[in-house]
Amino acid sequence: MHRLSRTGARPLRRRLPPQSARHLWQWLVLACCLWLGGTPALAQTRPAAAPASAAASAVDTLGEDNAPLPSVDELRKQLDAIPAKLGEEDDGRKLLTEVAAIGTAAERVVAQRTSDLADLDRRLEGLGPTPEKGAPADAPDVAEQRTALNKQRGVIDAELKLARLVAVDAEQRSAEIGRQRRALFQAALTTRVDSPLAPAFWRSLRYAAPGDSARLQALGANLRRAVQATLDSPRRGTFLGYLALAVALAVGGTWLAERVLVRALPARLPATRLRRTLLAAAAVVANVLIVSAALQLAWSGVKLGGVLDEDVRAVQQASLRAAAYATFVITLGHALLSRRRSSWRLLPISDALARRLSPFPWWIAALSALGGLVTQVNAIVGASLAAEVLVHAVSAVLLSVTVAVALGRLRATPQAADAADGATDAAPAEKAGRPLWVGLILASAGLAAAAAALAVVLGFVALGGTLARQMVWSGVVFATTYLLMQLVDDLCDALLSSHGGLGARIHAALAIDAQLLDQAAVLLAGVLRVALFFYMAIALMAPLGTNPDELFRRGSKLDHNLQIGDFTLAPQALLTALAVICAGFLAIRIVKRWLSDRYFPHTSLEPGMRSSIVTLLGYVGGVVVIAVALAGLGISVERIAWVASALSVGIGFGLQAIVQNFISGLILLAERPVKVGDWVVLGDTEGDVRRVNVRATEIQLGDRSTVIVPNSEFITKTVRNMTLGSAQGRVLLRLPAPLDTDARRMRELILQAFHAHEDILESPAPSVTLEGIQSGTLTFLAIGYVSSPRNAGGVRSDVLFAILEALRDAGLSLSPPATTSVAQAPRDAAQEAPPLSERV
């Protein structure tokens, strides 16, 4: 790509002989014969340039802690040997590594010399102060020792200062190289050449075809000579055996490995999700190792005839890397989709969708592999700019079309696709809809595919190729991270949770609480997920040739554009603040959901406390994110103090109610007199607390409607909390009876009715007392307890029905002021059911 930016769209004016088409086909056939792909980071189209200085040979020893300290003069020479300005053939990443190693070595020298200087100062202090003028002189040996120590101190101090200067220069040189790398990368991306739709593009390719064909023929001749030398040698049979073994290993080894894993792992693993995730990971690793070993075996056979040419060795290294990459992509796609074994599938998709998507891992791996291979061959033989442009254009268009077709099949209506395939077994997660982050990734992939194809058509071939490769590489990284996150969750759940085999043994041997083991499993999985997310971010930036810290360095040309008083409004700072806000609130949402769905279910916290903790965490996290975003803009707390002072006036007049409700909400979340799930009565409002917000509380009434009550109402008014002290409910009945009623028989019948109901608790036991006698009426007070006050109404009705039936059968009756009474049956109508009447 650097050559692309160096030469631009320079036309080549040579004529193409008639046999140019045949030479071009030879070039393509040679690429296809190698059948392997390149690495995803195809932006580097040239092999790394030779080290510009002797620093390259010393980099490996500078970073070692046990290596001897280099001299400051040596470090200075190495730093000066690194070019101050990057050339188009220079490997900026390698130079950055060398500069970092020099800076690290300088820091080691500074630390060591600082320690030596402190030791000399202690030794000088041990000799005592220097004699003043007119005071007795030191003894000769003391004076000699003091002079030697002072001289030694001066040398060490000078070396310390020089080492600090080298460290500072190394840091500045690193920042400058990073800036130049970004500039070169941006220049390469913005370079415009002839569009593939223009005749000039194909004329340039025709003019360059003879030279490219000659270079490719030379490479092919070298490869043929190496193979022929092996065939002509006495080790011909060994070479053929190597080839046969390589083919058998690549074809039969992968087939056999899958069968062995499917039969061996499930029998040795617990019946959990760990079976499928570990099988998928093991299949990916096994296939990559087998295919890489097979290809290495084939190349080892080629080497039997003698030492390979340098270009052939470069092809060997490129093919080994490409084979591992292509095999990894194909096996990863096969493991995630699992077209033949739906029970082993990691993605929550239907069988029909898995069948529709199953060819695309092969297509993407083949296209990116072939494109990478041709790019590497171009770099090895030194192909022309026109050939590089062609490879980038064709690769970008083919990858974009493939991704677009895959997205089209993925976004097809599941019902229509299943009906067309005769399938109705859509996964529940697919029926329920995809998560938001999956939709964002798919939308980004679609936009990247369209942008890559459009860039190629407009002539920005380098930009289109970079977008296409980054799109494919991002998909591979996301899929790998998904697999690893699933594996991490399943491993932690199987090893540490109380229902896992190892967790059960730990629980039995160490008497650790099962709930604590479940919490440890969830926390460990969360920590590992964060680490995987961090490495995913690094992997996503790998093809761009940059490091994470480079993305946040200042000093770009967009800084310091708008000055408002002492405040500088920089576009980069605005983008940084926006990124902090988006990432911060997204992280808060993820943490809150993780706490609510994963961690809190394994704790003994009640739902109200969980809701309060999650709500407070959201408020605190929001304040922290906003503070960090303001700090990124250069606005500190002191700068916004005048804003708070101005707002205090408005708060005093128009925002009293809002502030009062806000403070009341914080009090409710902290003291928790009312929490989620409580049954409260506030004036005429009675219902269940569903949510406590920072301004108002939501109460669900019996008719399923919701009342929004300001939080200040719960602080300033009397609130009856039916479930605060106890979750039990009470069924209370006052039953009046005539004075001549058999009180003991009445009491027995009421108690029997209470005990007969299944919802009445045995502890505390129901009781029936004679509350008093008034106006010739006995008043019985009956009390029973239920598990929840919400059940009291229904239980009260059931018990009353049972009491009325029992009193009617026993010939007893109730009297006013009861709302329900039982008339006594006539003596001469014992066979008839006694009539039931109601009166007020």
* 173 pLDDT higher than 60: yes
CA dist 728 and 719 (Å) reads: 18
Confidence of residue 1 (pLDDT cuts 50, 70, 90): very low
Same domain, 626 and 667: no
Domain finish residue from 199, 232, 257: 199
CATH value at residue 679: 2.30.30.60
Cβ contact 6:88 at 8 Å: yes
Cβ contact 548:538 at 8 Å: yes
Task: Give CB contacts under 8 A, 24+ apart, made by 600-607.
Answer: 602/515, 602/518, 602/519, 602/522, 603/515, 603/519, 604/515, 606/675, 606/677, 607/675, 607/676, 607/677
Confidence of residue 555 (pLDDT cuts 50, 70, 90): very low
Sequence-ordered list of residues with C-beta below 8 angstroms from that of 387, at least 6 positions apart, any chain: 27, 205, 208, 212, 378
Confidence of residue 31 (pLDDT cuts 50, 70, 90): very low
Which class for 326: exposed (0-12), middle (13-18), buried (19 or more C-beta within 10 A)?
buried
Between 365 and 788, the more confident residue is 365
539 in any annotated domain: no
User: Three-state DSSP class for 584?
Assistant: helix
Enumerate the β-bridge partners of residue 696. Answer: 710
Same domain, 160 and 113: yes
CA dist 552 and 182 (Å) reads: 12
User: Three-state DSSP class for 683?
Assistant: coil
pLDDT given at position 5: 37
> What average pLDDT does this structure show over 193-197?
81
* 829 pLDDT higher than 70: no
Cβ contact 359:328 at 8 Å: no
Same domain, 698 and 749: no
Between 87 and 654, the more confident residue is 87
CA-based max dimension of the chain: 142
* 603 pLDDT higher than 70: yes
424 in any annotated domain: no
pLDDT given at position 647: 60
Beta strands in 534-586 (DSSP E): 562-564, 567-569
> What average pLDDT does this structure show over 608-619?
76
Q: What is the domain count for the chain?
A: 4
Cα three-residue angle 786-789-792, rounded to 5 degrees = 65
55 in any annotated domain: yes
CA dist 558 and 325 (Å) reads: 38
Same domain, 618 and 662: no
Between 44 and 381, the more confident residue is 381
Least confident of 67-71, 101-105, 374-378, 392-396: 67-71
Confidence of residue 49 (pLDDT cuts 50, 70, 90): very low
462 in any annotated domain: no
Confidence of residue 43 (pLDDT cuts 50, 70, 90): very low
Counting every residue written for the chain, the total comes to 840
pLDDT given at position 567: 56
Q: Are strands 567-569 and 562-564 parallel, antiparallel or unpaired?
A: antiparallel
Same domain, 753 and 712: no
Cα three-residue angle 530-536-540, rounded to 5 degrees = 150
Distances, alpha carbon 152 to alpha carbons 158, 203, 633, in Å:
10, 72, 49
Q: What would the pLDDT profile of 663-680 be if each residue is shown by its tens digit?
A: 777 777 777 788 777 888
Same domain, 713 and 734: no
Confidence of residue 39 (pLDDT cuts 50, 70, 90): very low
* 6 pLDDT higher than 50: no
361 in any annotated domain: no
CA dist 412 and 377 (Å) reads: 39
Domain finish residue from 199, 219, 236: 199
Least confident of 362-366, 606-610, 771-775: 606-610
DSSP state, residue 45: -
Between 64 and 37, the more confident residue is 64
700 in any annotated domain: yes
Residue tagged 């088409």 (tokens): 21
pLDDT given at position 26: 40
Cβ contact 142:101 at 8 Å: no
Confidence of residue 827 (pLDDT cuts 50, 70, 90): very low
Top-ranked range on mean pLDDT: pick from 24-28, 657-661, 762-766:
762-766
Q: In 762-825, which residue ranges form alpha helices assigned H by DSSP? A: 792-810
Q: Cis before residue 428, ω within 30 degrees of 0?
A: no
Judged by phi (left if over 0) then psi (alpha if -120 to 50, else beta), residue 270 lies in beta
> What average pLDDT does this structure show over 356-360?
88
Instruction: Name the phi and psi angles at 690, rounded to 5.
Output: -100, -30
Confidence of residue 727 (pLDDT cuts 50, 70, 90): low
Q: Tokens representing 60? A: 């490996």
DSSP state, residue 782: E
CATH value at residue 741: 3.30.70.100
pLDDT given at position 328: 92
User: Three-state DSSP class for 324?
Assistant: helix
Give the sign of the dihedral formed by CA 277, CA 282, CA 284, CA 285: positive
Same domain, 688 and 584: no
Q: What would the pLDDT profile of 213-258 be if each residue is shown by its tens digit?
A: 888 888 888 888 888 888 888 888 888 888 888 888 888 888 888 7
CA dist 315 and 380 (Å) reads: 8
Same domain, 13 and 120: yes
129 in any annotated domain: yes
pLDDT given at position 501: 67
Cβ contact 301:242 at 8 Å: yes
Q: Tokens representing 764? A: 């505390």
* 536 pLDDT higher than 60: yes
DSSP state, residue 275: H
DSSP state, residue 542: G
Same domain, 576 and 685: no
Least confident of 152-166, 394-408, 557-571, 740-754: 557-571
pLDDT given at position 590: 86
pLDDT given at position 646: 58
CA dist 628 and 812 (Å) reads: 78
pLDDT given at position 667: 79
* 25 pLDDT higher than 70: no
* 645 pLDDT higher than 70: no
> What average pLDDT does this structure show over 482-510?
78
Q: What would the pLDDT profile of 300-315 be if each residue is shown by its tens digit?
A: 888 887 778 888 888 8
pLDDT given at position 50: 37
Same domain, 609 and 745: no
Same domain, 28 and 160: yes
Confidence of residue 64 (pLDDT cuts 50, 70, 90): very low
Give residue 812's identity as a one-letter amino acid code.
Answer: L
User: Three-state DSSP class for 768?
Assistant: strand
Give the sign of the dihedral formed by CA 624, CA 626, CA 627, CA 632: positive
CA dist 258 and 251 (Å) reads: 12
Q: What would the pLDDT profile of 382-420 be if each residue is shown by its tens digit?
A: 877 788 888 888 888 999 999 989 888 877 644 444 444
* 565 pLDDT higher than 50: yes
Mean pLDDT of the chain, nearest integer = 75
pLDDT given at position 444: 86
Instruction: Name the phi and psi angles at 169, rounded to 5.
Output: -65, -40
Confidence of residue 649 (pLDDT cuts 50, 70, 90): low
Cβ contact 736:703 at 8 Å: no
Domain region containing 794: 729-810
CA dist 260 and 44 (Å) reads: 39
CB 233: neighbour CB atoms within 10 A? 13
Distances, alpha carbon 339 to alpha carbons 122, 225, 485, 722, 782, in Å:
74, 44, 21, 55, 67
Same domain, 712 and 798: no
Q: Tokens representing 272? A: 């959990």
> What average pLDDT does this structure show over 65-72?
70
List strands edge to edge, sheet with 679-682.
706-710, 696-700, 685-692, 679-682, 720-721
53 in any annotated domain: yes
* 644 pLDDT higher than 70: no
CB 764: neighbour CB atoms within 10 A? 11
